[in-house]
Amino acid sequence: MDVPAGEIVAFVLVIAGAGVVTGLLAGLFGIGGGAILVPVFYQVFGLLGVDEVVRMHLSVGSSLAIIVPTSLRSCRAHFLREAVDMALLRRFIFAVPAGVVAASLVTAVISGAGLRAIFAAIIFLMGMKLIFNRRGWKIGDELPGDPVRSIVGFVIGFLSTLMGIGGGVLNNTFMTMFGRPMHQAVATSSGIGVLISVPGFLGYIWAGWGMPHLPPGSTGFVNWIAVALVVPITLLVAPLGVRIAHALGKRHLEIGFGLFAIFVAFRFFWSLL
């Protein structure tokens, strides 16, 4: 591909700026992954003139590729502390990847508008939950057995892959609604992130293989320039967001991210009009 050097430099600089924003927001709100990466990438790829046909797919696929190393590292750390619910993770070991594969097949045929609509609807619900969250919200005291667990795992894998997230928000909600402590839910979600991100980003490479209109440095729906730049920049900038977060109350952070999520949802809904 014959791409002018100036265009590549501009692409690198804008993606680096996206890494700064993503790292700051991730550290501030404590929720990384696609919930922040996808909307930031979507805006950045738009500024760079990436065609609307592949713009959302590229944002989601690149997000999943970035989640791979962070989820592997997080899973190992939680496993060494014996904080992961291995019984649940074993139940999910086939169900979650099955959902990922199904989502990859959908990705190959769904339009960018359809992908935006799915992301907007789910992140809107996430935002509303955070804003109106109550500690006493519970469905039961024990996680349901099969086939409900397997169905939940499939749905988590399916929706997370379409959104480009690691599944943490969905699994945390599932586990805490059945009385599990948040620290165990977070630890288990790190393992689920591995089950989603590894086959997920490979699925997006397959789904976008040979597609036209992709920017430089892309393999299918994964842009390696974005991946290579965002990971180290995010790690460098996130501590600044963490310091800001510690100056605020937990409830303020929940409301803050909830409002951010609703803003993103309306931004995507508006783009569909």
Distance, in Å, from the CA atom of 169 to the CA atom of 257, rounded to the nearest integer, reads 12
Is the pLDDT higher at 138 or at 260? 260
Instruction: State residue 156's pLDDT score.
Output: 93
User: Percentage of the chain with pLDDT > 70?
Assistant: 86
65 neighbors 200 (Cβ within 8 angstroms): no
User: Which among 149, 180, 198, 214 is positioned nearest to 83, based on CA atoms?
Assistant: 180
Instruction: State residue 145's pLDDT score.
Output: 82
Instruction: State residue 1's pLDDT score.
Output: 46
Distance, in Å, from the CA atom of 249 to the CA atom of 217, rounded to the nearest integer, reads 41
Q: For residue 219, how many other CB atoms are within 10 A of its CB?
A: 15
Measured at the CA of 94, the angle between CA 206 and CA 186, to 5 degrees, comes to 95
Strand duo 222-223 + 218-219: pairing: antiparallel
pLDDT digits (tens, 9 = 90+) for 197-225: 899 999 999 999 989 889 888 999 999 98
Mean pLDDT of all residues belonging to the chain: 81
Maximum C-alpha span of the chain: 60
pLDDT higher than threshold 50 for residue 262: yes
pLDDT higher than threshold 60 for residue 176: yes
Q: What is the total count of domains within the chain?
A: 1
Mean pLDDT of 123-140: 76
Give the structural domain span for 13.
Answer: 5-271
227 neighbors 62 (Cβ within 8 angstroms): yes
Instruction: State residue 157's pLDDT score.
Output: 93
Classify 50 as helix, strand or coil. coil
pLDDT digits (tens, 9 = 90+) for 231-253: 888 777 766 766 776 676 667 76
pLDDT higher than threshold 50 for residue 115: yes
CA dihedral defined by 230, 235, 241, 242, rounded to 10 degrees? 150
* Cβ burial, residue 209 (10 Å; 0-12/13-18/19+): exposed
